[in-house]
Amino acid sequence: MGVSIELNNISALKEILKESLENKVVDAVLGLFWDENKETVAYGMTKDVNILERLEVLCPSMPVQGARVVSNIKFTETPIRVLCIIKPCEMRAVVELVKLKQIMPEKLIFLSMDCGGALEPEKFKEFNKFGKDVVGEYLSCYENFSDFSYTSENYRFACRVCDRCVPKISDLRLRSYGKTKYLEALSDKGHKFLNETIKDGLKEMDFSSYEDSLKKIIDNRKANKDKERELFKKEINSIESFTRELSACIRCHNCMVNCPADYCKECIFRSPVFDHPSENYELWLERKGMIKLPSDTLLFHLTRLNHMSTSCVSCGMCETSCPVGIRLTRIFSFIGEETQKIFDYEPGRSYTEELPVATFREKELDKV
């Protein structure tokens, strides 16, 4: 139970963010900002309190993985203090990237929220464009403690089955359900931020009834996940069915480029290794009778599963990025669960839990 501040509505949070910029508690705020036409949102960073008007804290869109955005900025040379507003799955990816030394978190403060999920970015834009008040509806669902994302096909698959929609390890947690919201410090850094920004109203609070109502939402999602996992395991249980699922893959690498866990600059799939000389194709024709083109799509996905599935945070960004609709979230999240289980590892759970592939125990895995 951390120190919290009560917020009458979501705009009250914006006031706090403004104060934190004005009082130089942080140098910039990173989050989702509306474009000029208010059609869609994109990640952005600002130190201008006027631009904060365009910030949307509770926003059902995830145009790119937030952890990716943060890790792309090298905060090392200019250590500005940035408050980053990201969703819980993005926060889990931040934890993984900190462990992989791709994010230096010292000057960053992470604010995450009890998350209601997101639409695919094209849906989000389309709805807004045709005058649907997407964010308004989203906010009123929050206010009524109603479970919106898991029932609506418009939401991303990853969100419909997400039972980790509450941030456990960010510096600040926005308890976003109900009419009154709360901003709670989960870490010393978060506590310090609240102390420096807010003059009065900070107190320890009891959230047990909030947690009870939240549990219902999480349980629904969990049940949905169990159902989908079972369906997946029935459907994709052989190399043939796996190959079929991937048959449309054009190996554009979008899934890899947008996945927060695929951080490696020396990735074999970023090299010319797969520009095979034409003799190879002749050999394949000889040996196999045909060759699927582009080649190496199975190898690509199997390699990703081997290299990063232990760090898959189930954010679904791979699926959002895929131009041919391959159900990548199911593949990576459900198979990732299994590889993570071997080491009792949960990506994004803790900063100190070692990455399974970066460590070992002398006595383990006797039967491999």
- Binding status of residue 324 toward other proteins by CB under 8 A: no
Give yes or no for a contact between 183 and 5, defined as CB atoms under 8 angstroms apart: yes
**Residue 314 contacts other proteins per CB under 8 A:** no
Binding at 242: pick from ligand SF4, other proteins, none (beta carbon under 5-8 Å per type)? other proteins
Residue 324 interface partner, choices ligand SF4, other proteins, none, CB cut-off 5-8 Å depending on type: ligand SF4
Distance CA 341, CA 351 (A): 18
Q: Which of 70, 118, 119, 255 binds ligand SF4 (CB under 6 A)?
A: 255
Q: Is 42 in the site for other proteins (CB under 8 A)?
A: no
**Pairwise CA distance, residues 48 & 50, whole Å:** 5
Q: Which residue among 326, 334, 335, 348 contacts ligand SF4 (CB under 6 A)?
A: 326
* Interaction of residue 71 with ligand SF4, rule CB under 6 A: no
Task: Kindly state the smallest distance separating residue 365's Cβ from other proteins, in Å.
Answer: 5
How near is the Cβ of 310 to ligand SF4 at its closest, in Å?
11
In total, the chain counts a number of residues equal to 368
Residue 260 CB-density burial (10 A; 0-12 exposed, 13-18 middle, 19+ buried): buried
Site string for other proteins, 257-296 (x = CB under 8 A): -----------x---------------x--xxxxxx--xx
Angle at 13 between CA 205 and CA 196, to 5 degrees: 70
From the list 313, 280, 304, 241, the residue with the least C-alpha distance to 94 is 313
List the strands of the sheet with 41-46, edge to edge: 41-46, 28-34, 82-85, 108-113, 172-175, 181-185, 3-7, 203-204
Please tell me the distance from the alpha carbon of residue 94 to that of residue 90, in angstroms, as a whole number: 6
Q: Which of 70, 139, 312, 335 binds ligand SF4 (CB under 6 A)?
A: 312
- The nearer residue to other proteins, 203 or 363, going by C-beta atoms, is 363
SS3 64: coil
Told to check if 345 binds other proteins by CB under 8 A, we report no
Binding of ligand SF4 by 318 (CB under 6 A) = yes
> Facing residues of 185 across strands?
172
Number of residues in contact with ligand SF4 under rule CB under 6 A? 26
Question: DSSP per residue over 78-117, as a string?
Answer: S---EEEE--HHHHHHHHHHHHTTS---TTEEEEEE----
187 interface partner picked from ligand SF4, other proteins, none, CB below 5 to 8 A per type = none
At its nearest, how many Å lie between ligand SF4 and the CB of residue 125? 20
255 binds, among ligand SF4, other proteins, none (CB under 5 to 8 A by kind): ligand SF4
Q: Residue 127 CB, nearest distance to ligand SF4 (Å)?
A: 23
CA–CA gap between residue 157 and residue 225 (Å, rounded): 10
Identity at 184, one-letter amino acid code? E
**Footprint of other proteins on residues 226-245 (CB under 8 A)?**
236-239, 241-243
DSSP code of 333? I
Closer by beta carbon to ligand SF4, 20 or else 320 = 320
Q: Is 305 in the site for other proteins (CB under 8 A)?
A: yes
At its nearest, how many Å lie between ligand SF4 and the CB of residue 301? 7
The nearer residue to other proteins, 124 or 343, going by C-beta atoms, is: 343
Least Å from the CB of residue 233 to other proteins: 8
Of the candidates 263, 233, 227, 261, which has an alpha carbon nearest to the alpha carbon of residue 245? Answer: 233
What is the DSSP code string of 244-282? HHTTT-----HHHHH-TT---TT-GGGSGGGS--HHHHH
- The one of ligand SF4, other proteins, none whose footprint includes residue 58, by CB under 5 to 8 A per kind, is none
Residues engaged in binding ligand SF4 (CB under 6 A): 249-255, 259-261, 312-318, 321-324, 326, 328-329, 332-333
